[in-house]
Amino acid sequence: MRVSLKDVAERAGVSIKTVSNVVNKYPHVTPAMRERVQRAIDELGYQPNVTARHLRKGRTGIIALAVPELGNPYFAELAGAVIDAAADHDLTVLLDHTRGEREREVLVSQGFRARVIDGLILSPLELEVEDLRGRDGDDVPLVLLGERQYDLPYDHIAIDNVAAARVAVRHLIGRGRSTIAYLGGRTDSANRPAHLRMKGWREELTEAGIPAPDSLVGRVGGWDRQDGAEAMARMLDSGVRPDAVFAYNDLVAIGAMRVLHECGLRVPWDVAVIGFDDIAEGRFGAVTLTTISPDKQSIARLAVESLLRSLEGTESPGGHEIAAEFRLVERESTLGRR
């Protein structure tokens, strides 16, 4: 039998209303009364019915998070951070992965489960601006994560990819490298993170007077370890031998390092490598990975708070660009063993 408010009230010898006030943390309860009720709660093992509390406000207490791929540790770590940030507000997270397929992203963004969620945090890969324009009204608040820019009235949380890429490339230049490849080129449209990071790579090299020829851009078919391995192998096979690699993300970097290792090239002495995302895996290889670290906890917190502002109606509809912090984390793949 579930312990009810009534049971707690009887044990504490107070009214149900008083127990409810304590549970809901209303301010007008004396400390003595609060302690008396809390003791009864502890003794009976009462758990407040969060669902009912949300329902009274006309909410479900559920928000949704849609990410491209849980198998990518960056998104798994980000999802964990969102779940924690949501729990701080008694919100439960409904999680879906879209596989980065436009069709599934459209389905999610069109609010196909609008009846059971209060809000949606969406990290799109392939979604186009027209897909979002077709959204079924604004009844379910939406926050966008990641680097694609849509110019639509939804809050958008991302780090400055061009600036972050320039920090990465500047670090490689500072380590004396001059043939710096970028692994992550795609034939996509221009407003995607892979292009923004390539833009930063090119800008920083140009400003330093270092060539940035297309032969140093490794095309990738996806963003996983295998894609990085294939791009690195193709570049080496074509006779291009960089002394440094800036990879689109840590997984691509890890795949590239595997191929460098197989070819007998030593990281960082022959080729320095820097990634992007700061996933835990990068801290433990035979060569630990230097990376750009976006502040995932901060991204998660900002996203949940943006949804809550929309739900409380405390501000006009979104459309704010919210910048998340990032930092360079220097490890063995550019510094060597210390």
Selection from 238, 274, 280, 277 nearest residue 257 by Cα:
274
**Using CB under 8 A, which of 36, 46, 73, 195 touches its own copies?**
73
Peptide bond before residue 268 is cis, with ω within 30 degrees of 0: yes
**Helices and strands (H and E) in the chain: how many:** 13, 12
32 touching its own copies, by CB under 8 A: no
Residue 58 touching its own copies (CB under 8 A)? no
Q: Does 127 interact with its own copies (rule: CB under 8 A)?
A: no
Q: Least distance (Å) from its own copies to the CB of residue 141?
A: 18
Q: Crossing angle of helices 225-237/250-262, nearest 10°?
A: 50
Q: Which is nearer to its own copies, 70 or 167 (CB)?
A: 70
316 interacts with its own copies by CB under 8 A: no
The reply to whether 95 sits near its own copies by the rule CB under 8 A is yes
Contact yes or no for 210/203 (Cβ under 8 A): no
Given a contact cutoff of 8 angstroms between Cβ atoms, the answer to whether 318 and 153 are in contact is: yes
Is position 285 an interface residue for its own copies (rule: CB under 8 A)?
yes
Residue 4 touches its own copies, criterion: CB under 8 A = no
Within 142-271, strands assigned E span 142-145, 155-158, 180-185, 217-219, 244-247
CB of 320 to its own copies, least distance (A): 27
Residue from 4, 20, 110, 149 binding its own copies (CB under 8 A): 110
Is residue 283 close enough to count as binding its own copies by CB under 8 A? Answer: yes
- Cα torsion at 27, 33, 34, 40 (round to 10°)? -150
The residue assigned the tokens 């221009």 is 190
User: Under the criterion CB under 8 A, does residue 136 sit at the interface with its own copies?
Assistant: yes
Q: Which of 281, 308, 311, 320 binds its own copies (CB under 8 A)?
A: 281
Count of residues that interact with its own copies, criterion CB under 8 A: 47
Q: CB neighbours of 91 closer than 8 A, spacing ≥ 6?
A: 61, 62, 63, 118, 304
Q: Which stretch binds its own copies (CB under 8 A): 24-32, 119-127, 156-164, 251-259?
A: 251-259
Tell whether residue 129 is a contact of its own copies (CB under 8 A). no
Which is it for strands 119-122 and 92-97: parallel, antiparallel or unpaired? unpaired
For its own copies, the binding residues (CB under 8 A) are: 1-2, 47, 49-52, 55, 60, 62, 69-71, 73, 76-77, 79-80, 83, 92-97, 107, 110, 112-113, 115-116, 136, 224-225, 229, 254-255, 257-258, 261, 280-281, 283-287
